[in-house]
Structure 1
Amino acid sequence: MEFFTCPLCHRFLPSHKIERHVDDHFTDEELSRDLLLAQEVDSRRGASSSSSTYGGGIDIDSKFASLISLQTKEILYQVKGENGLMTCLKDCLTFESEKDATSILSGYIDHFQCRESEDVGWGCGWRNIQMLSSHLIKQRQEAREVLFGGAGFVPDIPSLQRWLEIAWELGFDTQGSNDFNNKIYGKRNWIGTTECAALLRSFGLRAMVVDFCGEETNTGGSANKMLVNKNVSKRKLAQIHGPMDRFLFKEDQKESFKHLSSDAGKKVKGPEVIIEWVWNYFSNNNSTKLGSKRVILSEKAPLYFQEDGHSRTIVGIQAVLKSNKMHQYNLLILDPGHQTEALEKSMKQNFGWQKLIKRGIHTLKKHQYQLTRTVFQLCFIEPGIARGEEIERLKILRGIHHEI
């Protein structure tokens, strides 16, 4: 029989008891006593320098340090190759039949799928956080150093849930934490862009939320109960003016986007605004772009995309010039509901991948929940790491608001 040492209290226990024993350290009854012992674990705080406490006056640094040691790496199906699945997608886009098409892609990203025995039906939000984190850890050195205590890997869902609780305790998105009674570990609640932003902000990342809102509609009480019970993160955030505002309409400034020259002067509306925003995001001139004429590689991070009680990850966008000289846009999306192995197979065989990856504007015109003015939300990550006073400002979650 194998024996292991508990990283918190250093007891020597059999292998079949160690996992349950470690989990017990996180119960409310033992937390105050056991977290004091976690002071011995080295801590790399990448979030706030404040002296926040967790329960019973215990310094939250202790729980942070404990989680660095206890967090578990997510096990995933690994696509071989330098850039994995994104290389497969790049090859497909390069050699597909659409001649007058230009695609812009994010860099490296791992696909994390929902598993039947673990999180099907509720885990998509966590899987998208994992996908976004895989890109940040691989592509941005400053993010790798602070994310998850500098672990250098993407944690599993239970570990992410604990990290989110720490973010809440530190004061990030207090309003949102109240919706979950400040507890998420071990639960199957739906999460969304605001929880993603709060978690990443707690490490100093500049995560921003964009609201795309339509006209208010009336629906029945039963639907409202379903939305509340599922904790779908679609609340309307206070509006701010952020760095991407130049791509957004203002209520007092109705200007059309200036995108590809053949479409200049066209006034976008409805879901087209989202498509246009995504195109401008990935094609921003401040982003170094490499690659061929047909497929451009952008340094921009993927986007967490929330709609209809389901979330996915936007990894790029494609513009196809049609015979009428107008462009047809396709979002390029990785869905946690798809199997990674099936995605890889369809791309390597160059068959059927379009149905799994491409999403045209018509797919954005149908939405199941119309209970609030918010129809869609995006979460994007700006470069750099916040420090000092900026960290304190990030604790208040405000969104860039836009009417569609």
Structure 2
Amino acid sequence: MLAGEAFERAEPHLASGISRLLLSQWDQAQEDRERLRDNRYAIERMLRPRRTRHACSELDIHLATVDGDGWDCGYRNLQMLLSALVKGLVQTTHNATYSASGQGPPATPWRTGQVPNVLAIQEALEIAWSCGFDEMDRSHFYEPLRGSRQWIGTSDAAALLRYWGIDVRLVDSDPQFQSERESRHQSLMRWALQYYVRRCARAGGCIVCRQSGRSTARASDGDVSNARAVHAGSKRNDWIPPLFFQYAGHSVTVIGVEIDLRRNESCLLLIDPSQGVSCGRPRIRAWTLQDLQAVQYQVLYIHECVFLDERTPMKQRQKLSSLRLV
């Protein structure tokens, strides 16, 4: 047989073998690419943080008296809120403008730079009542408040803060007014989460985000030389106040939220004034949705404008707005 004839007969088999070889190499390359992509995704999942946190601005911890029965928890939560207010707003445009206006009591914490004690809070609250702030709740106290061990709640704290010129609001969570499709107090958990995420974004990052390098860009505050010309009702976005949580017989301060990115779950980070300290540090508790076992919750928060407009009529200042979650 001639060599040319042998080659012609072997050519189809040779071409088929080469095709199979090329296809197998192509399949192997595809498998290698898919394996590499899977490994890259696995590494990204490993490097991705499992949890992220958003927290309020700096505050002082005020705990309940050791020999008490928890009657002063409302005062302690209010003191923590006021300490954050003092630290965040002293020497700011709000403080300068509001003080220059000549309105408001001279002993307000952001003017003195000090958080009032329980006795001073009781005295100031009685003055606020006498000025027409929350007169309805005043009738619930069976004796003069000053010097007593009667507890206060979010509505009493709101009356005092609005008397001092702070724009505070209330949020009510009652399951009987909520949709049957949602779990108990799920709307409250979602609202608290959105509160911290939104305030953190507008502040360009909370203290936790800034420490971890997750701060985001925010709008410039403008020329510092014109700070005193800023209206008292303008926004101060770089300060994140805590939340005052109240339920039947007790109250706590929510200082932040924690989000589990993998499970898509969240929890509230809070300080309970009655829990004391552990190893010299305040105990920070984490509440998931399952921990919200009370029938009703009421939340006090400071609006982004912080101060009420000095032109707001007194009747409107005395009126407290409340948001009912549905």
TM-score bucket (shorter structure): 0.5 to 0.7
Q: Which amino acid aligns with 1:101?
A: R
1:402 maps to what in 2? 325
Q: Which moved more, 1:178-187 or 1:98-107?
A: 178-187
2:255 maps to what in 1? 315
Deviation at 1:168, TM superposition (A): 0.5
1:170 maps to what in 2? 131
1:207 maps to what in 2? 168
Deviation at 1:149, TM superposition (A): 7.5
Deviation at 1:299, TM superposition (A): 2.7
1:306 maps to what in 2? 246
Q: Percent of aligned pairs with the same residue?
A: 26
1:286 maps to what in 2? 202
Deviation at 1:122, TM superposition (A): 0.4
TM-superposition CA deviations, 1:96-125 (whole Å, max 9, x none): xx94101001111111011124x4420000
Is 1:121 paired with 2:70?
yes
Q: 362, 366, 382: which one pairs with 2:290?
A: 362
Conserved in 1, the CA contact under 8 Å of 2:166 and 2:302?
yes
2:187 maps to what in 1? 273
Assess, with a 3 A threshold, how the Cα gap between structure 1 residues 180 and 163 changes in structure 2: closer, same or farther: same
Q: Using the alignment, how far apart are the partners of 2:51 and 2:170 within structure 1?
A: 29
1:102 maps to what in 2? 52
2:116 maps to what in 1? 155
Conserved in 2, the CA contact under 8 Å of 1:105 and 1:295?
no
Map 1:62-73 to 2 at 5 A: none
Deviation at 1:312, TM superposition (A): 0.5
Deviation at 1:402, TM superposition (A): 1.9
Deviation at 1:152, TM superposition (A): 1.1
Higher share of residues assigned helix: 2
Deviation at 1:392, TM superposition (A): 2.8
Deviation at 1:269, TM superposition (A): 3.8
Q: Which amino acid aligns with 2:290?
A: H
Q: Which has the higher contact order (CA 8 A, sep 6+)?
A: 2
Q: Which has the larger radius of gyration?
A: 2
3-state secondary structure, aligned to 2:121: helix
Q: Using the alignment, how far apart are the partners of 2:297 and 2:316 within structure 1?
A: 24
Q: Using the alignment, how far apart are the partners of 1:315 and 1:100 within structure 2?
A: 20
Q: Using the alignment, how far apart are the partners of 1:276 and 1:308 within structure 2?
A: 21
3-state secondary structure, aligned to 2:325: strand
Q: Using the alignment, how far apart are the partners of 1:376 and 1:296 within structure 2?
A: 31
1:329 maps to what in 2? 266
1:389 maps to what in 2? 312
2:19 maps to what in 1? none
Assess, with a 3 A threshold, how the Cα gap between structure 1 residues 157 and 269 changes in structure 2: closer, same or farther: same
2:159 maps to what in 1? 198
RMSD, matched Cα: 2.9
> How high is the TM-score relative to the length of structure 1?
0.54
Q: Using the alignment, how far apart are the partners of 1:129 and 1:345 within structure 2?
A: 20
Q: Using the alignment, how far apart are the partners of 2:120 and 2:214 within structure 1?
A: 36
3-state secondary structure, aligned to 1:357: strand
TM-superposition CA deviations, 1:334-375 (whole Å, max 9, x none): 1101224x26447xxxxxx6xx422211110x22xx5xxxx0
Structure 1: 5+ residue stretches without partners: 1-97, 217-248, 255-266, 347-352
3-state secondary structure, aligned to 2:275: coil
Q: Using the alignment, how far apart are the partners of 1:336 and 1:296 within structure 2?
A: 30
1:380 maps to what in 2? 301
Q: How many matched pairs?
A: 240
Conserved in 2, the CA contact under 8 Å of 1:109 and 1:131?
yes
Q: Using the alignment, how far apart are the partners of 2:307 and 2:280 within structure 1?
A: 33
Assess, with a 3 A threshold, how the Cα gap between structure 1 residues 393 and 318 changes in structure 2: closer, same or farther: same
Q: Using the alignment, how far apart are the partners of 2:61 and 2:153 within structure 1?
A: 18
Q: Using the alignment, how far apart are the partners of 1:390 and 1:289 within structure 2?
A: 35
Conserved in 1, the CA contact under 8 Å of 2:73 and 2:250?
yes
Assess, with a 3 A threshold, how the Cα gap between structure 1 residues 161 and 143 changes in structure 2: closer, same or farther: farther
Conserved in 1, the CA contact under 8 Å of 2:89 and 2:110?
no
2:39 maps to what in 1? none
The runs of at least 4 consecutive aligned structure 1 residues that moved more than 6 Å come to 294-298
Q: Using the alignment, how far apart are the partners of 1:158 and 1:197 within structure 2?
A: 17
Assess, with a 3 A threshold, how the Cα gap between structure 1 residues 294 and 310 changes in structure 2: closer, same or farther: farther
3-state secondary structure, aligned to 2:65: coil
Assess, with a 3 A threshold, how the Cα gap between structure 1 residues 345 and 131 changes in structure 2: closer, same or farther: closer
2:275 maps to what in 1? 338
Q: Which moved more, 1:328-337 or 1:138-147?
A: 138-147
Conserved in 2, the CA contact under 8 Å of 1:212 and 1:401?
yes
1:183 maps to what in 2? 144
Q: Using the alignment, how far apart are the partners of 1:99 and 1:207 within structure 2?
A: 34
Deviation at 1:332, TM superposition (A): 0.8
Map 1:22-61 to 2 at 5 A: none
3-state secondary structure, aligned to 1:162: helix
> How high is the TM-score relative to the length of structure 2?
0.66
Q: Using the alignment, how far apart are the partners of 2:81 and 2:55 within structure 1?
A: 14
Deviation at 1:153, TM superposition (A): 0.4
Q: Which amino acid aligns with 1:384?
A: V
Deviation at 1:215, TM superposition (A): 2.4
3-state secondary structure, aligned to 2:274: coil
